[in-house]
Structure 1
Amino acid sequence: MASSNNVIGMMDSAYFVGRNELLSWINASLQLNLSRIEEVASGAVQCQMMDMTYPGAVPMHKVNFDARTEYDMIQNYKVLQDVFTKLKIDKHIEVNRLVKGRPLDNLEFLQWLKRYCESVNGGIMNENYNPLERRGKVCKERHFKASQKSSKSLQTYNSQNPGSGDKSGVPKMTGNKQKSRAVVVESDSSDEIQALSNEITELKVSVDLLEKERDYYFGKLRDIEILCQAPDLEHIPMVAAVKKVLYAADEGSALAEAQEILSANQ
């Protein structure tokens, strides 16, 4: 479990560690090649640092090392916050600032993280930890799933368009018959391309609408999260119950645990 060194004051020597030293620490520990502090904004690096410090405590299969959007980055920080909660680490994560990639905010968080990890392992790197293997396994699983989706899409297309497969066994045609056949094929292809083009346009419209809807509800959740983080509200039972639902890794038990919190304070 976490040590008692959770609270690190702003005047602690940890906050005087420079950017180059932090990047060297990360690159050496996780075998990366980062050159800017902003590159850790996705939260994946922080998750793996905790995975190295507490082997097995981080569900690495939930960490997205390819996160590019704020939504995907926030999912990484939810994993990290859940780990903090499990290890009883009293550290608030300023997610809304970190995902913006602001150098100072990410620098301060890394300074704290370095100080904390070293307080646990005494500054000694875990020689039995293979960062490439741990990271590579997650990336391979994601790429494998993506390949499966592509393969299924290709199989579906081929089943719907059998003419796109093997042409062996088709009798050859010459002269006017061949020209006539070419005109028919060209006409069919043109119609098919137009139909696919229309379908793509419709899908793009649907995706745009879904993204707007997602952003709308995500914005509502962020507003609720910010309200729950207010110092004068965070100790209220209802706020604690809401945060339990927001940060729960296991969606099935989150509601039941939140209800228990409310029942215990009635």
Structure 2
Amino acid sequence: MATNIGMMDGAYFVGRSEILSWINTTLHLSLSKVEEACSGAVHCQMMDAVHPGMVPMHKVNFDAKNEYEMIQNYKVLQDIFNKLKITKHIEVSKLVKGRPLDNLEFMQWMKRYCDSVNGGGINNYNPLERREASKGGRESGKKSAPQQSSTKGSNAAPRPSSSHARRNSNDVTSSAHPSNQSAKASSKPSTSMAAYDEQITELKLSVDSLEKERDFYFAKLRDIEILCQTPEIEDSPIVAAIHKILYATDGDASVVTEAQAMLALQSKEAEALSPIAEASEEKSSCEIQKRKNILNSDVDAAGIITLSPRQRLSDASDVHCSGSPLMTY
């Protein structure tokens, strides 16, 4: 059973037309846009269809227009999730605003969940009868009834007899021509309005996706700013260059070049200081060598002074045997 599914799951690639067809067929509604279900009442009845008897339909408000009324519907939905131990997070603040992308994603999740329960089969469920207990449920059920009755009435219109058609052929042709023109004229605005609605919906979806992308990258920049404020590195040249880029005003195209110049200047200063450091190292090594020579000479002198009398005697005998002219008796 799907409760939490990833954003790359196939459920989030289901189109709006398929979602709308699923809602209207299951609940006998006539929604034309997914965001029309932002009140949360449709979600509650979908859960009622999948889990009969779990949803208190008398608490669901299908006539919710204000946000506080919609929030009450989402509270009912959250209670159902808690009872069923569903851990899906409901972003109420985004859904009640009627944003197309957010409502589409949540309804895609709803379809995936309903399909995962009992194989998606909903049997012996009467959505109109269950909706009667809800506030505004009867009116929402009647919205689709006039459309169905009008289509049936247009298909069941009686045809004129052939004799009557022959007698009034001239009148029929003369009257049919303006009616056809009016029908064509009325069909053109309807198709153009549908095209405009489609374009508006696509624009809303693109705006929502751009807003999400903007928030994502802004959060990344904020994390970099917090990292640069660490006391151990906030005085380093690279952090200063990053700050220059982060806090640059709009239209400043040379900010990257200036940041690179700052780093290059810092590296040149480091190279200029390096010969001084080498000279100091050589001087210190010379001083260490001198100290070693002094210590060695002191040790040799001390060794001569501390010779024992026996060693001195042996040295004198060695000199006598060598035939030194200094040793005469």
Seen in structure 2, the aligned counterparts of structure 1 residues 43 and 141 have a Cα distance that, compared at 3 Å, is closer
Q: What letter is aligned with 1:41? A: C
Q: Using the alignment, how far apart are the partners of 1:138 and 1:90 within structure 2?
A: 26
Q: Using the alignment, how far apart are the partners of 2:41 and 2:10 within structure 1?
A: 25
Q: CA RMSD in A?
A: 1.7
- Equivalent in 82, 86, 99 of residue 83 of structure 2: 86
Q: Is 1:137–2:133 an aligned residue pair?
A: yes
Seen in structure 2, the aligned counterparts of structure 1 residues 11 and 140 have a Cα distance that, compared at 3 Å, is closer
SS in 2 for 1:116: helix
CA contact (8 A) 2:60 2:135 kept: no
Q: Using the alignment, how far apart are the partners of 1:55 and 1:105 within structure 2?
A: 27
SS in 2 for 1:137: coil
Q: Using the alignment, how far apart are the partners of 2:83 and 2:106 within structure 1?
A: 19
Q: What letter is aligned with 2:37? A: V
Q: Using the alignment, how far apart are the partners of 1:78 and 1:63 within structure 2?
A: 10
Q: What letter is aligned with 1:132? A: L
Q: What letter is aligned with 1:110? A: M
Which residue pairs with 2:120 in the alignment? 123
Which residue pairs with 1:26 in the alignment? 23
SS in 2 for 1:58: coil
CA contact (8 A) 2:55 2:80 kept: yes
Q: Using the alignment, how far apart are the partners of 2:114 and 2:101 within structure 1?
A: 20
Q: Is 1:61–2:72 an aligned residue pair?
A: no
Q: Specify the structure having the higher radius of gyration (Cα).
A: 2
Q: Using the alignment, how far apart are the partners of 2:138 and 2:115 within structure 1?
A: 31
Q: Using the alignment, how far apart are the partners of 1:26 and 1:77 within structure 2?
A: 18
Q: Using the alignment, how far apart are the partners of 2:92 and 2:137 within structure 1?
A: 26
SS in 2 for 1:33: coil
Q: Using the alignment, how far apart are the partners of 2:104 and 2:74 within structure 1?
A: 16
What's the CA shift for 1:138? 2.2
Q: Is 1:9–2:6 an aligned residue pair?
A: yes
Q: Is 1:111–2:112 an aligned residue pair?
A: no
Deviations 1:43-96 (A, max 9, x none): 000000000000011111100010000000000000000100110001000000
Q: Using the alignment, how far apart are the partners of 1:84 and 1:16 within structure 2?
A: 24
Higher relative contact order (CA 8 A, sep 6+): 1
Where structure 1 has 5 or more consecutive residues not aligned to the other structure, the ranges are 144-266
Seen in structure 2, the aligned counterparts of structure 1 residues 73 and 91 have a Cα distance that, compared at 3 Å, is same
Question: Which TM-score applies when normalising by structure 2?
Answer: 0.41
Number of residue pairs matched by the alignment: 139
What's the CA shift for 1:123? 2.3
Where structure 2 has 5 or more consecutive residues not aligned to the other structure, the ranges are 140-329
For residues 74-223 of structure 1, what are the structure 2 equivalents within 5 Å? 74-124=71-121, 126-139=122-135
Give the % identical residues.
71
What's the CA shift for 1:142? 9.4
